Amino acid sequence: MIGWIRSTRLGIFLNVAIGIVFIIAAVIVVITVNYNMRQQALIEAQSKARIILDRNLATHTYFSQIMKPSILAWSEPFRTKEYFDRTWMSSTYAIREIEKYFKSISPSRYSFRDAAINARSPENEADEYERAFIEKMALDKKLESESTIRNIDGKPYLIVLKKGEVMEASCLRCHSNPQDAPKELTDYYGSERSFNRKTGDAVHAVSLRIPLSEAYAAVYLFSWKLSAILLIVLACIFTIQYWFYRRYLLQPLNVIRDKANKIATHEDHLGEQIPQPFGRELSELTTTFNEMSVKVCHERDHLEDLVDQRTEALLREKFFAESLVQTAQAIVLVLDTTGCIVSFNQYMEEISGYRLEEVQGKDWFSTFLPERDRKRIRESFLKATADIQTRGNVDPIVTKDGREVDIEWYDKTLKDEQGNVTGLLSIGQDVTFRKRAEKALRESEERLRTVVEASLDAIIAVNAEGRLVLFNGAAQELFQYSKEEALNQPADILLREEIGKIHQERLEKFLNTGVGRCGHIGRRMEKPFRRKDGSLFEAEVSMSGGRLDGLRLVVLVIHDITERRQAEDSLHRSEENFRRSLDESPLGVRIVTIENDTVYA
């Protein structure tokens, strides 16, 4: 179904769609008009029914309340008790006879009558619907009227019921007890029906039946005429619309289609222009088509030049990429999904000693890897080909002459256009010398730590934050702090408070930038220091800049000179006492050197 719709011509499809829309609109209009006219006919019938009911009810009231009481009063002197004449004593009879006479002179299908339960005349006996209304009327004193549409003998009728007159006192002479009724009445109607009434009883309803078939027939006839008119009008509108649609839409589109077909089958038509049609949208479409035609024509005319340019650019890019791979100071290795060698660059040939032609297609793991590593690295290869990338793994390869070279590998899965894994690209960097240097550095640092720990002088190091990061055994003994207590503590705990504040700013600048003054970097000096118990002592200190684990440090070598100072003070006091003794001696004293130079006289 969808394929048929897509293959249908646009003009046919749109015209059919518009026609269907017009027909649906016409049907909706006809149905709406038909419904509204039926409703209007019903409203008019109800209005007419109210007029007829009110007119007959007025006649009934006049007969019961004016004419009959007057005649009864006039005939009272000479009328016997048993006398009964239905022509003027029964309003129901009078109304019924008037209705018959009216129909004889003005035939119509509507009917009017007084309906009652247990009526004296069968012509006035209420049917099922009328009986239900009278019973409801007896229960609901406010109920005045009711209407509905009923199908009688297959034809629709509007049935209107209205509450009739209530039982008057003047009526009880004929409707109370059969024994009190005139004998002529019971002889004519019998003593069974329409007796035992009471004053105020609603015993009958006025019923009007109006046929609707004629009105509905007129409505249907009008609907058919309206449908025909609408059909003609819609056909005219559709024809006019179709002409405009074909003239200003389909024809320009057909022109564009035909020109496109010509261009598709004969490229000589490229560059030809289509006249501008009416309407902005089609004009813009035509302009775009003309521009495309000219552009495609130009590109076709210069296609060979463009292909040559693109080919040359691709060759340059290919040459550049190959040159880059071949001259790169890194291994570029390509393996297939089974781990066989597809290619590698010149740098790999130089490191391994193998030419590509010697090992191409061979298993990488058994050719270049030590036997101890083959299983582990093959598992890494399988992970990489499962699109799990590996980065920074350091594994050795075995060269042609049997040497092991440490390589740091970075892997990337290769895939085709469908996303299927086709191999593995590995980039490797020779890190043999770097690992040797790292090992030598670690050994050097270890030797340095051994020397520092074995030194008899206290050696400490301070980082950029002014905290202790090195505290050897001699420092622990000199300052009375354990290594755990001293590390990461401010270096100020070892200095006099005023000295620590002076040198802190210079120390931070030197450690952060490597320039500036920091006390006496590179020189020996004597400074006071403070032990854990707060006691001060003099020490000779030498300061120098250095690095530990990549961090800039200030290293201090501290030698306690307390004993030396005490010896110097003792010698100085001895010299003073000797001089004082010589000065106080009563004898003349002269002291000369070997060279006969006088040092004291």
Q: For 276-306, how does the pLDDT look when each residue is reduced to its tens digit (9 = 90+)?
A: 777 777 777 788 878 887 787 777 777 777 7
Any idea what DSSP says for residue 176?
A: S
Closest C-alpha to 148, from 202, 217, 99, 208:
208
pLDDT in tens, 84-122: 888 887 778 888 888 788 778 877 777 778 888 888 888
pLDDT value of position 257: 77
**Which residue has better confidence, 462 or 389?**
462
User: Among 158-167, 211-220, 581-590, which range has the highest average pLDDT?
Assistant: 158-167
Average pLDDT over residues 47-62: 80
Q: Which CATH class is domain 465-560?
A: alpha beta
Q: pLDDT category, 516, cuts 50, 70, 90?
A: very low
pLDDT in tens, 553-575: 888 888 888 888 878 778 888 77
- Answer whether 313-430 and 465-560 agree in fold: yes
Query: Of the given ranges (6-10, 38-42, 46-50, 413-417), which has the lowest mean pLDDT?
Result: 6-10
Query: Of the given ranges (19-23, 451-455, 549-553), which has the lowest mean pLDDT?
Result: 549-553
The answer to whether the beta carbons of residues 499 and 528 sit under 8 Å apart is yes
> Counting runs of H as helices and runs of E as strands, what totals does the chain give?
21, 16
pLDDT value of position 72: 81
Percent of the chain with pLDDT over 90: 0
Average pLDDT score over the chain: 78
pLDDT in tens, 169-196: 767 777 778 887 888 778 788 888 888 7
Q: Which fold has domain 313-430?
A: Beta-Lactamase (3.30.450)
pLDDT value of position 593: 65
pLDDT value of position 322: 67
pLDDT at 499 over 50: no
Q: Would you put residue 39 in left (φ > 0), alpha (ψ -120 to 50) or beta? A: alpha
Would you kindly state where each structural domain of the chain is located, as residue ranges?
A: 46-211, 219-286, 313-430, 465-560
For residue 202 the two structure tokens come to: 């609603």
Closest C-alpha to 513, from 467, 554, 557, 471:
554
**What values do phi and psi take at 55, rounded to 5?**
-65, -45
pLDDT at 470 over 50: yes
Distance CA 353, CA 485 (A): 57
Could you give the 3-state DSSP secondary structure of residue 310? helix
pLDDT value of position 132: 86
pLDDT at 359 over 80: yes
pLDDT at 484 over 50: yes
